[in-house]
């Protein structure tokens, strides 16, 4: 391998056209989308960094596996294949297929949640928090203190504060804890990895108190990369072996295969408790589909079985993490304030530091997302007070801890010249950052408001 330049370790077999647009056209598109990039049409976007979820390019091996799809209602060969891959990877005996991660969350957290229940996590992802709160339970985030400091370098900034974890369990009583959820990598916390030592300590605390430990394993392969390269004792282990070791510390996991499963749709719930698995399976059959397909087609399950193995390929993982770091490091050199070190699947820009003159109540992250679109046709996602803000009794905004904008990198989709274009667009934006203005919300739904809220520039 040549060490100076990390190339994309694939050739392109099929291409998808990108529609280019003018700045004037984009201004109009954004106005029509009520200044919410989620409401744009994809053909109005040049580089789509809204999410890395379900946006992966499948490999030739995955496309050919689709033809093998067994579409039988029950006991399909494709299910056997997928179940075997997941069992071998996770070590859990009870596997429930779902159409995506949040369906697995819904099955599990409605069973474990309800009024009076508490869930504790390094950071609950937005759909995780929504599913928990929707059940009437409470979701508490306790990342380590370093995680709240965007420019502070720490090798495992995704770690949970294990001291607080023990205190919280004792304070609330083990019987009121629905689960402790470790999100790897920590998506909302900057795509930052969790160390094996931290997962081991969580496991120990949970076992000591008799509390359930669930892994949100959406990016377990990317997390394994960081462990191998940053945590002593893992240099010689394979990425897959590292992931297997982490799964075996937990009592179960949920996974959105739209991330490290390298597929466009799919997910699963895996558990080691028969009784709980049976309860979840009943709801699965009522809401998702029969227990051997759970809302997926046979071909989806085939692609997922292949993707869950491909993702641990060392050349792929090296390119994946190196290409995300390339974007982050170039932005940092330009003076763009970013969360450091750069995480696995995305670069998080500190919008508050970028636009210090825009207060949280005027949503600096949303303003940056809008300006990136107008300047370069780049779509990205606010992860700040639009996504996580709450209101107090007087209707005043309680801001999120950080005002971030996430540039999520779809897997195997964009080449380095696309990323260089994103960097050039930022260089342009940084020239006139003082002129940027905030926004106000004109419509919002009660849950997950960032998806459908409407805005107006101030
Ligand atoms: C994407 C994601 C989910 C939800 O999965 P979907 O497939 O989008 O429903 C849950 N947790 C984390 C950490 C995620 O990134």
Between 2 and 229, where is the model more confident? 229
Does residue 131 line the site of ligand 1, with CB under 6 A? no
> Do 235 and 339 fall within a single domain?
no
> Do 233 and 324 fall within a single domain?
no
Residues 294 and 96: beta-carbon distance below 8 Å:
yes
> Do 147 and 242 fall within a single domain?
yes
Closest ligand 1 atom to Cα of 51: 1
Domain extent at residue 67: 60-310
* pLDDT of residue 189 exceeding 70: no
Q: What are the pLDDT digits (tens) for 77-129? A: 999 999 999 999 999 999 999 999 999 999 999 999 999 999 999 999 989 99
> Do 262 and 387 fall within a single domain?
no
- How far is residue 73's CA from residue 355's CA, in Å, rounded to a whole number? 54
Q: Which residue's CA is minimally distant from atom 11 of ligand 1?
A: 125
DSSP string of 43-60?
GG-SEE-S-SSS-PPPPH
- How far is residue 76's CA from residue 221's CA, in Å, rounded to a whole number? 27
> Do 296 and 375 fall within a single domain?
no
User: Which of 260, 282, 310 marks a domain boundary?
Assistant: 310
In a domain, 11, yes or no: no
Q: What are the pLDDT digits (tens) for 306-321? A: 999 999 999 999 999 9
The per-residue pLDDT for 150 is: 79
* Angstrom distances, CA of residue 23 to CA of 11, 43, 50, 398: 32, 15, 19, 34
3-state secondary structure of 290: coil
Closest ligand 1 atom to Cα of 257: 7
> Do 329 and 251 fall within a single domain?
no
> Do 240 and 372 fall within a single domain?
no
> Do 283 and 380 fall within a single domain?
no
5 band by pLDDT with thresholds 50, 70 and 90:
confident
Using only C-alpha atoms, the chain has a radius of gyration, in whole angstroms, of 21
3-state helix, strand, coil in the chain (%, to 5): 45, 15, 40
DSSP string of 296-324?
--HHHHHHHHHHHHHTT-HHHHHHHHHHH
> Do 34 and 101 fall within a single domain?
no
> Do 34 and 75 fall within a single domain?
no
Q: What are the pLDDT digits (tens) for 17-37? A: 999 999 999 999 999 999 999
Helices 196-209 and 162-172, axial angle in degrees (round to 10) = 20
User: Which of 310, 342, 376 marks a domain boundary?
Assistant: 310
* pLDDT of residue 3 exceeding 70: no
Does residue 124 line the site of ligand 1, with CB under 6 A? no
- How far is residue 141's CA from residue 182's CA, in Å, rounded to a whole number? 10
In a domain, 28, yes or no: yes
User: Which of 288, 310, 332 marks a domain boundary?
Assistant: 310
DSSP string of 104-124?
HHHHHHHHH-STT-EEEES--
- How far is residue 81's CA from residue 185's CA, in Å, rounded to a whole number? 26
> Do 65 and 193 fall within a single domain?
yes
In a domain, 128, yes or no: yes
101 CA distance to ligand 1 middle (Å): 5
Q: How many domains does the chain have?
A: 2
Q: What percent of the chain has pLDDT over 90?
A: 92
Q: What is the DSSP letter of 363?
A: -
Task: State the distance between the two ends of the chain, measured CA to CA, in whole angstroms.
Answer: 52
Residue ranges of E strands in 385-438: 390-391, 397-398, 404-408
The per-residue pLDDT for 4 is: 78
CATH of the domain at 224: 3.40.640.10
In a domain, 431, yes or no: yes
CATH of the domain at 366: 3.90.1150.10
In a domain, 5, yes or no: no
299 CA distance to ligand 1 middle (Å): 21
Q: What are the pLDDT digits (tens) for 414-449? A: 999 999 999 999 999 999 999 999 999 999 888 778
> Do 292 and 357 fall within a single domain?
no
């Amino acid at each position: 391998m040549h060490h100076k330049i990390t190339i994309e370790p694939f050739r392109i077999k099929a291409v998808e056209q990108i529609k280019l647009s003018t700045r004037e056209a984009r201004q109009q598109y954004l106005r029509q989308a009520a200044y919410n990039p989620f409401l744009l049409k994809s053909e109005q976007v040049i580089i789509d960094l809204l999410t890395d979820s379900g946006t992966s390019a499948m490999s030739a091996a995955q496309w050919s596996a689709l033809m093998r799809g067994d579409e039988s209602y029950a006991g399909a060969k494709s299910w056997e294949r997928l179940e075997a891959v997941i069992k071998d990877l996770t070590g859990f005996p009870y596997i429930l297929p779902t159409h995506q991660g949040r369906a697995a969350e819904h099955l599990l957290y409605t069973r474990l949640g309800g009024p009076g229940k508490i869930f504790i996590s390094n950071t609950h992802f937005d759909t995780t928090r929504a599913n928990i709160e929707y059940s009437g339970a409470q979701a508490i985030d306790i990342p380590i203190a370093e995680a709240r400091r965007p420019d502070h370098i720490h090798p495992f900034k995704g770690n949970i504060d294990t001291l607080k974890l023990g205190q919280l369990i004792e304070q609330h009583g083990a019987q009121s804890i629905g689960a402790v959820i470790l999100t790897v990598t920590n998506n909302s916390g900057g795509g930052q990895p969790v160390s094996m030592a931290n997962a081991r300590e969580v496991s120990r605390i949970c076992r000591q108190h008799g509390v359930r430990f669930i892994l949100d394993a959406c990016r377990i392969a990317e997390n394994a990369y960081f462990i191998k390269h940053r945590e002593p004792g893992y240099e010689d282990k394979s990425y897959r072996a590292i992931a297997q070791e982490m799964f075996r510390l937990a009592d179960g996991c949920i996974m959105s295969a739209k991330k490290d499963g390298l597929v466009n749709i799919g997910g699963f719930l895996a558990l080691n408790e028969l009784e709980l698995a049976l309860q979840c399976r009943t709801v699965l059959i009522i809401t998702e589909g029969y227990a051997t397909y759970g809302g997926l087609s046979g071909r989806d399950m085939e692609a997922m079985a292949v993707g869950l193995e491909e993702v641990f390929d060392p050349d792929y993982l090296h390119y994946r993490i190196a290409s995300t770091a390339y974007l982050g490091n170039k932005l940092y050199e330009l003076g763009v304030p970013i969360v450091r070190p750069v995480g696995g699947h995305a670069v998080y820009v500190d919008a508050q530091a970028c636009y210090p003159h825009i207060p949280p109540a005027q949503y600096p992250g949303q303003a940056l997302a809008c300006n990136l679109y107008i300047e370069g046709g780049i779509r990205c996602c606010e992860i700040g007070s639009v996504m996580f803000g709450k209101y107090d009794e007087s209707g005043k905004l309680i801001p999120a801890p950080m005002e971030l904008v996430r540039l999520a990198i779809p897997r195997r989709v964009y080449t380095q010249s696309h990323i260089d274009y994103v960097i050039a667009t930022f260089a342009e934006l940084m020239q006139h950052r003082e002129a940027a203005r905030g926004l106000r919300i004109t419509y919002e739904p009660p849950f997950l408001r960032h998806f459908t809220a409407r805005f107006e520039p101030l």
